[in-house]
Amino acid sequence: MVQTIRVTRRQLLEQISLVAGAALLAACGPSSVSAPAGPAPTQPPAQPASAAKPSKPAAGTRPDELVLTWGTYQLQTHQLDPQTHVGTIAESQLRHIFEPLVQIDRDLQTVKPQLATEWQRLDDLTLQFKLRQGVKFHNGEDFDGDAARFSILRPLDPANKADARTTYAGISAVDVLDKYTINVKTAKPDPALLLRMTGFSMTMVAPRWAASSPDVFTKEAYGTGPYKLASWSDPLQDWTLAANDQYWGGAPKIKKVRIKTIPELATRTAALRSGEVHVAKDVAVEEVDAINKSGRALGKTTPSNRIPYYVMEVRKPPCNNKQLRQAINYAANLDGIIQSVLYGNATRVATTVAPWHVGFHTDLKPYPYDPDKAKVLMKEAGFPNGFDLNINYIQGRYLKDKEVAEAMAQELNKVGIRAKPVLRDAALNTQEDLDQHQDGLIFASWGNWIFDADNQLFVRWHTSARDTANGGKGQSSLSYSNPEFDKLVEQARVELDPNKRLDLYKKAQEILYDDAAALFMWTLTDIYGVDNWVLWEPRKDEMVWAHEMAWNE
Between residue 55 and residue 94, which ones bind other proteins under the rule CB under 8 A? 55, 73, 76-79, 86-87
Nearer to other proteins, 133 or 468 (CB): 468
- DSSP structure class, residue 547: G
Nearer to other proteins, 326 or 351 (CB): 351
Nearer to other proteins, 187 or 236 (CB): 236
By C-alpha distance, which of 395, 405, 400, 199 is closest to 282? 400
Using CA atoms of 308, 77, 111, 230 in order, give the dihedral in degrees to the nearest 10: 130
Asked if residues 231 and 177 have their Cβ atoms less than 8 Å apart, the reply is no
What are the φ and ψ backbone dihedral angles of 247, each rounded to 5 degrees? Answer: -55, 135
Closest distance between other proteins and the C-beta of residue 298, in Å?
16
Alpha-helix residue ranges (DSSP H) falling in 199-249: 207-210
213 binding other proteins? (CB under 8 A): no
Q: Binding residue for other proteins (CB under 8 A) from 14, 107, 245, 484? A: 14
Nearer to other proteins, 40 or 59 (CB): 40
Number of residues that bind other proteins (CB under 8 A): 80
Closest distance between other proteins and the C-beta of residue 270, in Å?
5
Q: Binding residue for other proteins (CB under 8 A) from 24, 122, 177, 187? A: 24
Closest distance between other proteins and the C-beta of residue 141, in Å?
23
Nearer to other proteins, 21 or 249 (CB): 21
Nearer to other proteins, 122 or 236 (CB): 236
19 binding other proteins? (CB under 8 A): yes
Q: Using CB under 8 A, which residues numbered 457 to 476 contact other proteins?
A: 468-472
Q: Using CB under 8 A, which residues numbered 284 to 313 contact other proteins?
A: none
Q: Binding residue for other proteins (CB under 8 A) from 62, 112, 161, 219? A: 161
What string marks each residue from 360 to 399 as x (binds other proteins by CB under 8 A) or -?
----------------------------------------
How far apart CA 259 and CA 40 sit, in angstroms, is 33
Q: Using CB under 8 A, which residues numbered 515 to 544 contact other proteins?
A: none
According to DSSP, the β-strands at 518-519 and 306-312 are antiparallel
Closest distance between other proteins and the C-beta of residue 411, in Å?
28
Asked if residues 27 and 19 have their Cβ atoms less than 8 Å apart, the reply is no
Closest distance between other proteins and the C-beta of residue 9, in Å?
6
According to DSSP, the β-strands at 239-243 and 227-231 are antiparallel
How far is the CA of 417 from the CAs of 228, 250, 412, 440, 443, in angstroms? 56, 59, 5, 12, 18
Closest distance between other proteins and the C-beta of residue 347, in Å?
21
Q: Using CB under 8 A, which residues numbered 217 to 256 contact other proteins?
A: 234-238
Any residues with CB less than 8 A from the CB of 532 and at least 6 apart, and which?
57, 58, 295, 296, 297, 298, 552
Any residues with CB less than 8 A from the CB of 77 and at least 6 apart, and which?
84, 85, 90, 163
Nearer to other proteins, 50 or 385 (CB): 50
Nearer to other proteins, 104 or 182 (CB): 104
Nearer to other proteins, 123 or 264 (CB): 264
Nearer to other proteins, 71 or 366 (CB): 71
How far is the CA of 428 from the CAs of 393, 435, 438, 441, in angstroms? 11, 10, 11, 16
Closest distance between other proteins and the C-beta of residue 418, in Å?
28
Q: Contact region for other proteins (CB under 8 A) — 42-50, 134-142, 358-366, 539-547?
A: 42-50
Q: Binding residue for other proteins (CB under 8 A) from 163, 220, 370, 401? A: 163
Closest distance between other proteins and the C-beta of residue 54, in Å?
8
187 binding other proteins? (CB under 8 A): no
Closest distance between other proteins and the C-beta of residue 398, in Å?
14
According to DSSP, the β-strands at 550-551 and 388-393 are unpaired
How far apart CA 236 and CA 433 sit, in angstroms, is 31
How far is the CA of 512 from the CAs of 309, 312, 460, 466, 485, in angstroms? 13, 12, 11, 15, 8
Q: Using CB under 8 A, which residues numbered 419 to 448 contact other proteins?
A: 425-431, 434, 446
Q: Binding residue for other proteins (CB under 8 A) from 112, 122, 139, 166? A: 166
Closest distance between other proteins and the C-beta of residue 185, in Å?
21
5 binding other proteins? (CB under 8 A): yes
Closest distance between other proteins and the C-beta of residue 329, in Å?
23
Closest distance between other proteins and the C-beta of residue 386, in Å?
33
Asked if residues 328 and 417 have their Cβ atoms less than 8 Å apart, the reply is yes
According to DSSP, the β-strands at 126-131 and 116-123 are antiparallel
CB-based burial, 156-193: b 16+ in 10 Å, e otherwise:
beeebebbbbebbebbeebebeeebebbbbbeeebbbb
Q: Contact region for other proteins (CB under 8 A) — 32-40, 177-185, 188-196, 330-338?
A: 32-40
How far apart CA 298 and CA 530 sit, in angstroms, is 5
Closest distance between other proteins and the C-beta of residue 365, in Å?
27
Q: Binding residue for other proteins (CB under 8 A) from 44, 134, 250, 483? A: 44
Nearer to other proteins, 386 or 529 (CB): 529
Asked if residues 404 and 442 have their Cβ atoms less than 8 Å apart, the reply is no
30 binding other proteins? (CB under 8 A): no
Closest distance between other proteins and the C-beta of residue 182, in Å?
25
Three-state secondary structure readout of 449-496: CCCECHHHHHHHHCHHHHHHHHHHCCECCECCCCHHHHHHHHHHHHCC
Query: Cis bond leading into 318, ω under 30°?
Result: yes
Using DSSP's 3-state secondary structure scheme, residue 405 falls into helix
Any residues with CB less than 8 A from the CB of 200 and at least 6 apart, and which?
82, 83, 85, 86, 90, 91, 94, 95, 100, 164, 449
Q: Using CB under 8 A, which residues numbered 254 to 283 contact other proteins?
A: 260-264, 266-267, 270-271, 273-276
Asked if residues 137 and 194 have their Cβ atoms less than 8 Å apart, the reply is no
By C-alpha distance, which of 184, 65, 180, 79 is closest to 121? 184
